[in-house]
A and B are shown apart, each in its own frame.
Chain A
């Protein structure tokens, strides 16, 4: 269980990024072996070189703060994230407001280095800190009739200049099927590079579903609702032809707006080459079974 630690990380515990990267190099191959056993067989790909802190925190889609890629970093500072609580309701045994600190105290924080693939055909590799969503759902006790998990982003219009325009139907909502939500790869991230997650990246608590396009990984979550029916999702409501409920990364299913066959890794400069996109963003081995028998061209 290398690179796994208990909660309670604060700003003062931050490791300098250069030292952090260096440490990864020192661990080398043995870390790869150790990580292979992480969290019950979930593979963390050590061949992935994470993007820099600057890249991860300066190039964001968070339309509540504006539609430009640099708008979130510029405007998200105004967002109040303390106190923070998440309302968990719907088909759960223990519905209620869960304070962020209380959640953290009961979760096991882990480092997960995941590919991050945006539907706009760019990608990054992000070293998240977070815990498995399944653990959080256990806290609330999912009832057997629940089939889906709905999520909602905070909507604080005074602090979110982008919401002055109805770019999307605010608040931002997303959803997963229950088996997707409880998959060990699905985490709620609270940090990047071992530091608290920046506001433009969805502080204090965001979903990360690494085999789906980035917009499924809803930011600054304030509500989680267990439902029997497929919940509405923001981009699907805005344009159902372009954005399906599943939105799995799939190089073979073309998006009407962008070809998904290739992607460009952020950070390569003006002459960065396109790279082929991997099925399920490289997590095919882990998640393909979730969609056995489904026509992914239809359920895109």
Chain B
């Protein structure tokens, strides 16, 4: 069965490969930006590329437990690495916005307060901070499994806000951000008690 084959393969892939491979696109885009490969307006291009990768990684994190529950594919061991790398991308996206795009410190706070799509994006980032800080074994032990799991349900809020941020910043009626938001809503819906049919794994969601 395909699921078994994936599971066997996943067992052989060590986690550190993710920490090495996943940040490479960020370096690649930075290189492109510095060498003219991102077009004549590299700042926005870099900002958007990093933001989109961040959202894709967060969606990948959301896929892990439904894959196990509904398809028998167990990629749980990669979840922490993917979550932390997603946080790295969100941070880089934010840094590009702060340092290269807005530039003017007084305007940063004004933008966060005044422009709803930035407020929403910023809220998503803030929600991710405690998750990134507690994504280590020490925190897991200190908090205890139950409290740790409760805390990490903030992921749902953060991803939802991230998807909303994308929809809100699009000018006019655009399909792509709506597809992302639909995927996020679908993945969150799978967590609802009524939809998460096989009850066995529910509490581990």
Chain A residues proximal to chain B, CB less than 8 Å: 54-55, 58-59, 63, 67, 69-70, 122, 165-168, 238, 254, 256-259, 261-262, 264, 266-267, 269-274
Interchain CB contact (< 8 A) of B40 among A59, A63, A254, A273: A59
Q: Give A272 to B114 CA distance when docked, in angstroms.
A: 24
Q: Give A270 to B43 CA distance when docked, in angstroms.
A: 5
For B114, the chain A residues whose CB sits under 8 A away are: 254, 256
* Known A-B contacts A259-B110, A270-B43, A270-B46; A165 and B100 likewise in contact (beta carbons under 8 Å): no
A273: nearest chain-B partner, CB-CB: B103
- For the A-B complex, the count of residue pairs with Cβ-Cβ distances under 8 Å equals 62
Q: Give A148 to B11 CA distance when docked, in angstroms.
A: 70
For A273, the chain B residues whose CB sits under 8 A away are: 103
For B42, the chain A residues whose CB sits under 8 A away are: 269-270
Q: Give A238 to B170 CA distance when docked, in angstroms.
A: 12
Q: Give A274 to B98 CA distance when docked, in angstroms.
A: 12
For A257, the chain B residues whose CB sits under 8 A away are: 115, 117, 169, 171
Interchain CB contact (< 8 A) of A67 among B100, B115, B116, B171: B171
A255: nearest chain-B partner, CB-CB: B115
A70 in contact with B39 (CB, 8 Å): yes
- Would you give 14 A-B contacts (Cβ < 8 Å), ordered by A? A55-B40, A69-B41, A122-B44, A165-B173, A166-B173, A238-B173, A254-B114, A257-B117, A259-B111, A261-B107, A262-B104, A270-B100, A272-B43, A274-B104
A69 in contact with B100 (CB, 8 Å): no
Q: Which of B36, B40, B43, B44 has the most CB of A within 10 A?
A: B40
Q: Give A269 to B172 CA distance when docked, in angstroms.
A: 27
Q: How large is the interface on B (under 10, 10 to 19, 20 to 34, 35 or more residues)?
A: 20 to 34
Interchain CB contact (< 8 A) of A256 among B33, B41, B115, B173: B115
* Known A-B contacts A257-B115, A257-B117; A165 and B175 likewise in contact (beta carbons under 8 Å): yes
B39 in contact with A168 (CB, 8 Å): no
* Known A-B contacts A256-B115, A259-B111; A167 and B173 likewise in contact (beta carbons under 8 Å): yes
Taking A259-B107, A262-B104, A274-B104 as known contacts, 9 extra A-B pairs with beta carbons closer than 8 A to each other, sorted by chain A number, are A54-B40, A67-B172, A69-B41, A70-B39, A122-B44, A238-B173, A266-B41, A270-B43, A273-B103
- B174 on the A face (CB < 8 A): yes
Nearest Cβ on chain A to B31's Cβ, whole angstroms: 11
Q: Give A165 to B170 CA distance when docked, in angstroms.
A: 14
A265: nearest chain-B partner, CB-CB: B41
Interchain CB contact (< 8 A) of A122 among B41, B100, B116, B173: B41
